[in-house]
Structure 1
């Protein structure tokens, strides 16, 4: 091999130096290639209490890990030699087009994660043509969310509170602001046991203790934003001093029945989706009841630990009620590949909560936009690699759930017991 002095023009073409004056937030976010990358950035920039509130779950957090594993254990089956030059990633969800079959889930305490809060989420959703859902426990009012994102498609998530007039007032306010879908959450008769929050003393509003000040020292931006922006308030509650769990148990009404659901539906007068469905029997009852959609969800693993994994439940529910109403799904979705897998198994729409909050904590509104850029590019790329050019072409044949958690049937259990007895 002969060596030579490099040509000057060639040197110029290969020497690339990063702009030292580039906005550090932009540089930081551009390096994030996955939602998990955003999570790493978020952890560095957010105090322990809010960060662990976001990624934590109930009890021993088994349900959350199972949900994430269910998507990781997917096997895709691509078809070759299809023209995928142009891919249509959108379709109608509840009667209106979305540009991608994924949107932002309702999250509580959002401005604890970043001062930009729900405004950032709504504006980013507006940018990408997907819905944004505001929680009853949101920290921005329906009026302010609409003002921040005047052209966004907004949904409102409702917890039925013991003080019913508060619930009804929120429904009316969301309706007045043009929110087009009501998400009625039904898996919260009481708060789940969220041990991380207890250990961290997670309270609302956050308290400046010696422990939190030490934790805040390497994260000055979060505290500056917290202390110099408008005080944190719920859309539904003005003041509260206590832990998150205590607040939820004080608010939630464990007596909710189908009669209450009928009352809320009549008050809303529009599209209703019931969120928190966890078995086929309830899905059938809700189809007969006449709601517009159901959302398979175990609340991100934050209520009943070891509850059914929504993604695993999805195919059976779609077979039973998919012709009668739309089936949506959440919990464990951390990539565009997860979204595609859910759509292939019959979901009409998916929602992300933790992924959204990781983006928010990593960089405010810019971070949420980066999260959606990652997810939507992954959706597009996976569709092309599967050989499909529209969501309608996605079918169960494209995805296999590798079933490590399959329940053992009675015969197998009996056979195992007999073998054990024979050895004694």
Structure 2
């Protein structure tokens, strides 16, 4: 079935429509990566180096994609990764959460998101709240207690981001507030993308750059950059700090940003229930290998003791199957669902998840596997040097992730 005006058949088409609809600055902020974009590019390109070994005859007539992550049963092995202020659509995280609920999967809400945890949990009870180590222990405790009271099912602590003044290479300047000066500056972009602006006007508000989940009771929500500044002034956590946070939370707990087996072992030692193999979508240390390259070594180290998820570079259902064959419980996506959200709101996110679900089903059929649990490394072909690091892609000087 070919793409139509209200439906697209690939994530690449969602990205194309997002680019057409969004003001250049908003789209550029989604696409940018750190420094030269080497890691961001490798996140997706590395999947192309893995091949399949199809099996014919006796293929299962039905394939099961269901799995369990952090105690939550989900209908497909794809979760929405927490991402910051989602100014691509007026309903932002609430629309994404509804889409995830409709697809039968979980929503990750960033503490730097633009919608309150209470609203997102109402839209999708299977919401995981994400936090950074920002402020002292008392402030962190209040933040996670609010998430617990709202009904968040799990806590994600994100560690894979450095305070690099050159991060988000290629990203346009983003205003701290949409005051009159900022609106005048970005007005020409709005004129070029009238459908984007009309969408906000229909919802009777402008893009909100505040982060309500970072406010204490009675406080006005800080702006994204105010919260970011507090984060930069907070000493980074020790593993004992993370143990304290896990105990204070008292529920399912994920450490996001693990790329070394030694760190995976420490996550197990503090009692974490899951880890996300992630480099923050290529927005951490540029030159680090794509997430899929380091997955096998982490699964070898702790795969029998903790849930291992893969976050970074997934653009097709086939990519998800490759990650699961190498030992991941499920995958998390960021840019793809934001492109869907920009292209067509909640329906666009559902569309992206449907595309991935279809790709997973097709791969299971081609491999002769009835369920995710049947996948194994032998279903793939892998170059002998696959885990050694990113390749010197010609496109690395101008970050252009694979989109087709």
Q: TM-score range by the shorter chain?
A: 0.7 to 0.9
Contact 2:65 2:371 in 1 (8 A): yes
Map 1:353-368; keep pairs closer than 5 Å: 353-368=334-349
Question: Which stretch has the larger CA shift, 351-360 or 42-51?
Answer: 42-51
2:131 is equivalent to residue 131 of structure 1: no
Cα deviation, 1:252-272, whole Å, max 9, x if unaligned, reads 434311121122112110011
Contact 1:29 1:370 in 2 (8 A): no
When structure 1 is superposed on structure 2, of 64-73 and 246-255 the one drifting more is 246-255
Partner of 1:188: 161
Q: In the aligned structure 1, how far is the partner of 2:280 from the partner of 2:165?
A: 10
Q: Which residue of 2 aligns with 1:51?
A: 27
Aligned residue for 1:217, secondary structure, equals helix
Structure-2 residue corresponding to 1:85: 61
Between stretches 160-169 and 123-132, larger displacement belongs to 160-169
Q: Does 1:250 align with 2:230?
A: yes
Equivalence for 1:282: 263
Provide closer, same or farther for how the CA distance between residues 407 and 92 of structure 1 changes in structure 2, counting only shifts above 3 A.
closer
Corresponding position of 1:28: 5
Q: Distance in 1 between matches of 2:53 and 2:178?
A: 48
Secondary structure of the residue aligned to 2:73 is strand
Corresponding residue SS for 1:328? strand
Contact kept? 2:33, 2:170, Cα under 8 Å: no
Shift of 1:197: 6.3
Q: Aligned to 2:5, what secondary structure does the other structure show?
A: helix
In 2, the alpha carbon distance for the partners of 1:128 and 1:42 equals 21
Tell me if structure 2 keeps the 8 A contact 1:204–1:240: no
Q: Secondary structure at the match of 1:204?
A: coil
* Range that drifts further, 350-359 or 157-166: 157-166
Among 160, 169, 177, the residue aligned to 1:205: 177
User: Which protein is bigger by CA-based radius of gyration?
Assistant: 1
Offset of residue 75 of structure 1? 0.4
Q: Which residue of 2 aligns with 1:298?
A: 279
**Greater relative contact order: 1 or 2 (C-alpha under 8 angstroms, separation 6 or more)?**
2
Per the TM alignment, residue 160 of structure 1 is displaced from its structure 2 partner at its CA by 1.1
- Whole-angstrom distance in 1 between the partners of 2:262 and 2:273: 17
Distance 1:230 1:206, change over 3 A: closer
| Residues 79, 105 of structure 2: 8 Å contact kept | yes
Per the TM alignment, residue 251 of structure 1 is displaced from its structure 2 partner at its CA by 2.2
TM-score (norm 1): 0.83
Aligned residue number for residue 415 of structure 1: none
- Structure 1 CA distance, aligned partners of 2:349 and 2:366? 26
Q: Is 1:384–2:361 an aligned residue pair?
A: no
Contact 1:330 1:350 in 2 (8 A): yes
With over 3 angstroms needed to count, the CA separation of the structure-2 counterparts of 1:406 and 1:339, relative to structure 1, is closer
Task: Measure, in 2, the Cα distance between the counterparts of 1:218 and 1:153.
Answer: 37
1:249 deviation in Å? Answer: 4.1
Question: 1:339-418 alignment to 2 at 5 Å?
Answer: 339-402=320-383, 407=388
1:118 and 1:209 map into 2 onto residues whose CA distance is 23
> Which SS does the other structure have where 1:157 is aligned?
strand
Find the partner of 2:90 among 99, 107, 115.
Answer: 115
Q: CA deviation at 1:193?
A: 2.7
Kindly state the Cα deviation for residue 293 of structure 1 after the two structures are TM-superposed: 1.1
Shift of 1:55: 1.3
Return closer, same or farther for 1:68/1:379 CA change in 2, 3 Å cut-off.
Answer: same
C-alpha offsets along residues 319-367 of structure 1, whole Å, 9 cap, x if unaligned? 1111111111101111111100000000001100000100001011111
CA distance in 2, matches of 1:358, 1:403: 34
Q: Alpha carbon RMSD of aligned pairs, Å?
A: 2.3
Is residue 2:149 matched to residue 1:176?
yes
Task: Name the stretch that deviates more: 221-230 or 82-91.
Answer: 221-230
2:386 and 2:300 mapped to 1: Cα distance?
21
Query: In 1, Cα distance between the equivalents of 2:41 and 2:336?
Result: 15
